[in-house]
Amino acid sequence: MSADGSAVAHPLAGTRVLITGGLGFIGSNLAHRCVELGAHVAIYDNLDPHAGGLLHNIDDIRGSVELHFKDLLDFDALMGQVYGRDVVFNCAASTSHPLSMREPWFDHDVNSRGVVNLLEALRRVNRRARLVHLGTSTQLGRLRYTPADENHPELPTDMYSANKSASEKYVLIYARAHGLPATVIRFANVFGPRATIRSPEFTFNNYFIGLALQGKAIEIWGDGAQLRNVIFVDDAIDALIAAAVSPASSGETFFATGDAHYSVADIAATTVRCIGAGSVSHRPWPPDREVVEIGDAVFTNRKIKEVLGWTPRWDLEEGLRRTRTFYVPRLAEYL
């Protein structure tokens, strides 16, 4: 509220926002928030089945957004869509670690070459647009110290993580060399409504949610003692918005993670308890997953708290309960 008691418009109100990958998990939740804040939102998505996008993700806002079924590899289409935008959120990605090892060229095209296309389009026709690019904690690989911060060396163990690492560097190069106001937000294990819950190819904790919603067993590989940060999707969206509206974010990389860390086994057990169905079992590691497993993955969110004033609001249990409330009446659309 302002000093006279009137409502103060959010900085995104009235702005022209483009969300690449806007039909996916994080992108669609971001689209909902930007519409709520009064932005004019355009979604750019090719609905690639490997990326987890779903038209049902925007059922509530279908009449409030522009929708463009386009690919990041279509450079001319991309230039046309970035022109005149005030903010661009790059949520487009192929996010499957196993797929990236089976189809490395495909992963490179989406997660690396596609980002160069986006950056070059912005450089050519809209250098003033603020870009917020989604990174990932897995690009660090096996951690040399914990909690890991933004200065930790990067030694990714799979092609997805390697391409996300490379694309982050492209974003920072364009920020420095061409003056693009660009920011990278690295996430770890985002969960919540509108995620892909039907397949283990995507984030493990969202797949756990899908299994529990069906009353099925969650299988843990090994003892499940490896530690993870998780973050509820509403907190992730808050971080993206904070980066978009703060000049202090330009040219920077931030970890946006939850404050707490949990073992994979704890996450499974808590999911079953909060969803109210399912069970947990253990089995040996599959060889193809054991070779890319990174062990404990714990990160600090100190930098984003200090620079952008962001802090997570939702803990694991409350986030899971809100997630259950979303999915129960919509299971047929997401399974």
Q: What is the CATH number of the domain that holds 326?
A: 3.40.50.720
Say if 250 falls within a structural domain. yes
- Which residues have C-beta within 8 Å of that of residue 84, sequence separation ≥ 6? 16, 126
3-state secondary structure of 189: coil
Helices (H), 194-251: 204-213, 233-245
Residue 2 resides in a domain: no
pLDDT in tens, 276-326: 888 999 888 777 767 667 788 899 999 999 999 999 999 999 999 999 999
| CB proximity list for 231: less than 8 A, separation 6 or greater | 187, 188, 189, 190, 191, 256, 257, 258, 312
Distance CA 255, CA 168 (A): 13
| pLDDT beneath 70, residues of the chain | 1-7, 289, 291-292
**Three-state SS at 232:** strand
Contact, 48 vs 23, CB < 8 A? Answer: no
Question: Considering the domain boundaries, does residue 11 fall inside one?
Answer: no
Q: What is the pLDDT of residue 67?
A: 96
- In this structure, is residue 284 part of a structural domain? yes
Helix axes 204-213, 264-275, angle to 10 degrees: 30
Give backbone dihedrals phi and psi of 205, rounded to 5 degrees, phi first: -70, -30
Residue 1 lies in a domain: no
What pLDDT does 4 receive?
61
pLDDT tens by residue, 224-257: 888 999 999 999 999 999 999 999 999 999 999 9
Q: How far apart are CA 175 and CA 169, in angstroms?
A: 10
| DSSP percent split of the chain into helix, strand, coil, nearest 5 | 45, 20, 35
What does the pLDDT read at residue 292?
A: 63
The answer to whether 209 and 275 have CB atoms below 8 angstroms apart is: yes
Q: How far apart are CA 95 and CA 160, in angstroms?
A: 7
pLDDT of residue 202: 82
The size of the chain, in residues, is: 335
**5: in domain:** no
Helices 204-213 and 316-327, packing angle to 10 deg: 50
Provide the whole-model pTM. Answer: 0.94
pLDDT at 153: 96
pLDDT at residue number 3: 57
Burial class (CB in 10 A: 0-12, 13-18, 19+), 226: middle
Q: What kind and span of H or E run contains 81?
A: helix 75-82
Note the pLDDT of residue 176: 96
10 domain-assigned:
no
Q: Which domain holds residue 276?
A: 16-334
- Residue 9 is predicted with a pLDDT of 87
Start-to-end Cα distance in the chain:
42
How many domains is the chain built from?
Answer: 1
Backbone angles phi, psi at 14, to 5 degrees: 80, -5
Q: Does a structural domain hold residue 83? A: yes
Instruction: Give the pLDDT confidence score for residue 284 in this predicted structure.
Output: 85
Secondary element (H or E) of residue 39: none
What's the pLDDT score for residue 283? 86
Taking the CA atoms of 274, 275, 280 and 286 in sequence, report the sign of the dihedral they define.
Answer: negative
pLDDT of residue 296: 85
Q: How far apart are CA 133 and CA 20, in angstroms?
A: 10
Q: What is the pLDDT of residue 174?
A: 97
